[in-house]
Chain A
Amino acid sequence: MIVFDKPKALTDAPLHYCPGCTHGIIHRLVAEAIDNLNIGGETIGVASVGCSVFTYNYFNVDMVQAAHGRAPAVATGVKRADPSKIVFTYQGDGDLASIGMAETVHAAARGENITVIFVNNAIYGMTGGQMAPTSLPGQVTQTSPYGRDTNTVGFPVKVCELLSTLDGAGYIERVAVNNVKNVKNAKKAIEKAFRNQVEGKGFSLIEVVSTCPTNWGKTPQGALEWLEENMLPYYPLGVYKDKFAKEAAK
């Protein structure tokens, strides 16, 4: 008998996310990975600042809430304090790729044995829809009301491409959760990112291209379509780096 059940690694707290937001799916995939690897009792999560700040209420594991952008540094401290624990961060694009860029890059460069879940929806959600480091050229936001002008504010940051140049980074993959096929891929990738850590391999980051219907001004369905038409061409899905697979092949 197949029973559709809530993962043990999620609490009963109702999610506060907007209708059509994909955070809920991503939370579930992270929780399923934790359950499948049977590591919930040894996992410590690091919440970031932004819409996902309340992850400490949703994941049924020990959690610490980090300052804006600092989650990889906090995770480093936790992991170095007890390397037997499984430590992950859950961060948005403003947190990870803007204010926390230094912490992100250096955790990857050190090959810190942690798992980073990076949710990229090309906008600051919690503060009400400002331009993010990953907002697309021409994208209208509260702080780019005439569309992101690349002449004055430059171009979006492609995190997977950037990090894959670092020798320390182990496993870097970009996934999406806009359809069933992509959700299945995302599930595999996230679980692999955790398994890498369990096996002591090193730094894994999964970028999940995600939606923000509210701040994009779309319906939930419209947001998924916008993601497919605009986000995915700019942020192609795929494995950007898998140092561990290469090492295994040797």
Chain B
Amino acid sequence: MADKILMKGNEALAEAAIMAGCRHYFGYPITPQTEVAAYMAKRMPKIGGVFLQAESEIAAINMVIGAAAAGKRAMTSSSSPGISLKSEGISYMAGCDLPALIVNVQRGGPGLGGIQPSQSDYFQATCGGGHGDFHLLVLAPSSVQEMADLVAKGFDLAEKYRMPCMLLADGTMGQMMEPVSLEEAKVEAHDKSWALTGTKNERRPNIINSLALQPNELEQWNEERFKRYEIVKENEQMAESYLMDDAEYCVVAFGIAARVSQNAVDAARAKGIKVGMIRPITLWPFPEKVLKAAAEKCKAFLSVELNMGQMIKDVKLAIDCKKPVDLCYRTGGMIPSPEEVLSAIEKMQKEGK
């Protein structure tokens, strides 16, 4: 294993992308993800890669489309308002079945919002974000190590299923430093015979396109894409369970909210409350299986989020509303304290009895 070094989440993910074979990065500055662009600007020219600061987030995502269409591992990164601008391109990418990695280091919204950490783009990310029927793969890291590890995973899944992947982080994940061990990722070779590489006058042209004016044709494309989504849902759900073996109550939280909740779960355990935590790592596909199983033995659930309550809907759907689901949240860039989460756990326990 490589030596551990201290790195900011933003820098760790950038280096991890390079180690995963990404040589094409297109971005635009926005707090709190700018370190990704700065890191790429420094590194890419030294390894024969491409760093380009685009004129806008819109241009950046379209440059990613171009590079992905040419068959390259390409990525962009931004923060919430910038992701809204990219949404048009993300929809096109889904419609064209193009793989790429999009990083969202979330900040508070709506509008220009703030610059402090947030998880309020959950709906935007997990429901696709742009117009049309589609999904993104959505991965939610909760440590700097995971910021790095999920990059290679994200590229791999994106190429395997030919769909864009979003790494949904937040300001704390981007800004904080933790020890991280970076290792050269094994790059899986996926079929890219669809890529635009020039016909060499030897094959028919490849066309990458999301336009189908005949509704029956578009319907068929969408149906086929959703069949693929079903396979993703079946095979790729990821979650971490913490103290769930004997848990009677279950906290559900991802990213920074999971880090805070872990302290609260520990504190609750110290008070004799049998509570555990399920931390979704894939937000789409949502880890329904592990939640369904938890619903069989837990009395109540608590969704902890840095938004007004978005993931809670997926929690309720996953457990078919069989058990009560409470919400503990802060919004606007605020982060709940472990004490706040502990109070919510105690409240859940009282109600769940």
Contacts and interface: CB of A to CB of B under 8 A. Distances in A.
The answer to whether A and B touch directly, with their CB atoms under 8 angstroms apart, is yes
Interface bracket on B = 35 or more
A82 interface: yes
Contacts of A75: 66
Interface stretch (A60-68, A171-179, A228-236): A60-68
A81 B205 contact: no
B255 interface: no
Nearest to A99: B58
Contact of B211 (A53, A59, A60): A53
B182 interface: no
Contacts of B59: 70, 73, 76, 102-103, 106
Contacts of A59: 205
B64 interface: yes
Interface stretch (B196-204, B218-226, B293-301, B307-315): B196-204
B109 interface: no
A192 interface: no
B67 interface: yes
Contacts of B26: 77
B71 A70 contact: no
Given A61-B205, A65-B210, A106-B59, A80 B67 contact: yes
Contact of B63 (A53, A73, A105): A73
Contact of A43 (B52, B68, B198): B198
Contacts of B198: 41-44, 61-62, 85
Contacts of A78: 66-67, 69-70, 196
A56 B207 contact: yes
A212 to B, nearest CB: 20
Interface in B172-210: 196-202, 205-210
Contact of B199 (A61, A76, A77): A61
Interface in A189-235: none
Interface bracket on A = 35 or more
A41 B205 CA distance: 9
B199 A41 contact: yes
Query: Which among B60, B68, B197 has the highest number of chain A CB atoms within 10 Å?
Result: B197
A81 B199 contact: no
A56 B70 contact: no
B213 to A, nearest CB: 9
Contact of A70 (B62, B207, B211): B62
Interface in B142-189: none
A196 to B, nearest CB: 19
Nearest to A112: B52
A9 to B, nearest CB: 10
B74 interface: yes
Given A62-B207, A64-B208, A65-B211, A74 B199 contact: no
A89 to B, nearest CB: 10
Interface of B: 24, 26, 50, 52, 54-56, 58-60, 62-72, 74, 88-89, 92, 96, 196-202, 205-211
Interface of A: 11, 40-44, 46-47, 53, 56-57, 59-67, 70, 73-82, 85, 102-103, 105-106
